[in-house]
Structure 1
Amino acid sequence: MKTTQRLENALIKLYNAFHNNRLNPEDCTACAVGNILDNHDSWKHLSNDHGSLELNYIGRVHQNLGRKFNGYSPLEILQIEKIFLDTCGFKTPLCHYNSKPNNPTNKEILFHGLCNVVAYLCKLDNVPNVMDYSKLFEYEQDEPVYHLETFLT
């Protein structure tokens, strides 16, 4: 499957973060966006509220100037983070009195968050969802429509 460079880079960073236990929704350098943006936290200045879709003055300036951060616009960055936080069980925008999951770094929780983030990233680039395996189970007349290639060693 052909993907864009920004999508491929984001997927590699998210994959590595997940498998190296460097994905944490409560850390702006280690959340989905933090990892996509090379573990920097400067993106948090695009909005006044973490998990909000509302750009602040700085965010609007960057958006209006057409600035991209590792290929993503400020609005796309806020949307990625909101999807990740919402799917991980946080009530957004984040606030000390809003609900959050008991164990936000649980692998299952993080995996579900990443699945939705990846679906959104693919949608942004008009690429079929790379996490969608439903085609593997399509069949016609009791025979699979698609076949997996297996490699025996």
Structure 2
Amino acid sequence: MKTLNTRLDNAIKKLYTAFHNNTLHPECCKQCAVGNILDNSDSWKHFSDEHGSTKLNYVGRVNEAFGKRFNGYTPSELLQIEVTFLKACGYQLPIHYKNTKPDTPTDKDVLFNGLQAVIEFLCKLDNNLNVMDYTKIFDKIKCDFIEKSPVK
């Protein structure tokens, strides 16, 4: 589904492609949600001192203060995207060897939960309807069915 927002469309396309190409991995800075949005770059990891934190460090605050954007997203938005992804995948944050995590982080169900949560978050971030909300499809089908049903 295309939206009127280029950064949202690009992010969704990259995440969807990564999911289907098995190149979405929550524990890899280049293959996580943000890594994929940033064209498999890990430069974003320098915006925080802990993976899974929304607290900007010095580098993150400087980039934010100068208005830097990375594929359309500010450093704080990127950290929020990553936290959304990791939480939905079942991680206790910040990521630490003592904290809980999914047994199989690359399980398709785990990744789909993360993908769905991130896309919902990205849509909210851009004031867009959630493109993953399938309930509207069923509402439309129900209305079409009712309209075409013979009255008894």
TM-score, normalising length: structure 1: 0.90
Equivalent in the alignment of 2:13: 12
Equivalent in the alignment of 1:45: 46
- Tell whether 2:96 aligns with 1:98: no
RMSD: 1.5
In 1, distance between residues paired with 2:142 and 2:135? Answer: 12
In 2, distance between residues paired with 1:32 and 1:116? Answer: 11
In 2, distance between residues paired with 1:146 and 1:138? Answer: 9
Would you say the 8 A contact 1:136–1:146 is kept in 2?
A: no
Q: Which amino acid aligns with 1:31?
A: C
Shift of 1:146: 5.9
Q: Which amino acid aligns with 1:64?
A: A
Structure with the higher fraction of residues in helix conformation: 2
- Tell whether 2:82 aligns with 1:81: yes
In 2, distance between residues paired with 1:134 and 1:63? Answer: 37
TM-score, normalising length: structure 2: 0.90
Q: Secondary structure at 1:144's aligned position in 2? A: helix
Q: Which amino acid aligns with 2:17?
A: N
Q: Which amino acid aligns with 1:54?
A: K
Mapping of residues 1-150 of structure 1, within 5 Å = 2-138=3-139, 144-145=142-143
In structure 2, runs of 5+ residues without a counterpart are 146-152
Shift of 1:89: 0.7
In 1, distance between residues paired with 2:136 and 2:7? Answer: 25
In 2, distance between residues paired with 1:134 and 1:10? Answer: 22
Which whole-Å deviations, capped at 9, do the CAs of 1:68-93 have from their partners, x for residues lacking one? 00000011000000000011011111
In structure 1, runs of 5+ residues without a counterpart are 148-153
Give the number of equivalent residue pairs. Answer: 144
Q: Which amino acid aligns with 2:28?
A: D
Q: Secondary structure at 1:52's aligned position in 2? A: coil
In 1, distance between residues paired with 2:3 and 2:114? Answer: 23
Would you say the 8 A contact 1:23–1:32 is kept in 2?
A: yes
